[in-house]
Amino acid sequence: MTRLLTILLLALGLAACGDSAGPAVSTVAQAPAKDTQAPAPRTELKKIGLVMKTLTNPFFIEMERGARRAEKALRVDLLVKTAAQETSIEQQIQIVDDMIAAKMAAIVIAPGDSQRLVPVLKKAVDSGIKVVNIDNRLDPEAVKQAGMPPIPFISVDNEKAAYAAAKFVASQFNKPTEAAILEGIRSADNARQRMDGAKRAFSENRAIKLVASESANWKIDEGHAVTQKIFAKHPNVKLIFAANDMMGLGALKYLQESGKSDVKVGAYDALADAVAEVKAGHLAVTVDQQAAEQGYQGVALAMRLLMGESVPEITLIDTRLVTSDSVK
């Protein structure tokens, strides 16, 4: 009897201890699991390339500022590349090639040459890249012959603006006067238009005789050298129209060095240094063609193309003459 009672007590004790090899069960209340949703995927910014001629000309620094403003406002990923000089056309071609390889969504370009950039831009279009042309227009016939659709173009009416600036200076002469023009790169469409505008203005004043029209390739040092060359042949020149401010500043430098204070000079671009020369009375006029606005609108138009919108073939931005009266 005593043995049986001992066996029963041992059995009850083992049952109370439980099976240590079994699963553990918690009696503490668990908080309900939080609803963890995956974060919304980030929208990838459109990659747009801006190709300019150079940053040695403040005009293109202003153009980049406008493009950067569009980058922030429109939320794009903007890559800016420039050639070393405005005459570095092969370098611009290579930059476009690099942007094609980098799979840019769009390219906004201020081409240094109106024809030589067409083949590489055709390659870009064939790769599905949208192209917008600003500042200097690509040759429409070259674009057509390459089998490309018209490229949207943003700039100003260069002929009209140059005509207005040259006419402003020409109107100050009513006696026989010899005049000269400093042209830009002759293969650039905007250079040709500005030359045509100046020639038209001079031809309307019978007192003015155009005796020289030479290219100084948009550069300040060549503007100085070409002006010196012109005066060696035509010492009686009293009027110069420079197709951009850089060449105009070069011409002014030569005139100041040589003591020729009776020569009137008109220019184009409204760079800060040129506006300062207008205020000082050394430069008669320059043209504000809103470089920053061209940069902004170029990026904005590229975004419209990427959104599938139809855009105008030509967009012209207003210009204004900067004279001593307007800067008072």
Quick: pLDDT tens for 82-124.
Answer: 999 999 999 999 999 999 999 999 999 999 999 999 999 999 9
Structure tokens at 270: 């409204």
Predicted model pTM: 0.83
Q: 242-278 burial by CB neighbour count: b if 16+ within 10 A, else e?
A: bbbbbbbbbbbbbbeeeeeeebbbbbbbbbeebbebb
CA angle 117/118/120 to nearest 5° reads 75
Q: Kindly tell me the burial class for residue 178, based on how many C-beta atoms sit within 10 Å of its own C-beta (0-12, 13-18, 19 or more).
A: middle
So where are the chain's domains?
47-155+290-317, 158-288
Specify whether domain 47-155+290-317 bears CATH 3.40.50.300.
Answer: no
Strand partners, 181: 213, 241
Average pLDDT over residues 166-181: 98
320, containing H or E segment: strand 320-322
* Fold classification of 158-288 (topology level): Rossmann fold (3.40.50)
The residue with tokens 């490229």 is 151
pLDDT-derived band at 328 (thresholds 50, 70, 90) equals confident
214-247 pLDDT, tens digit each: 999 999 999 999 999 999 999 999 999 999 999 9
Q: Dihedral angle at the C-alpha atoms of 66, 189, 154, 50, nearest 10 degrees? A: -50
Fold match, 47-155+290-317 / 158-288 = yes
Name the pairing type of β-strands 208-215 and 177-183. parallel
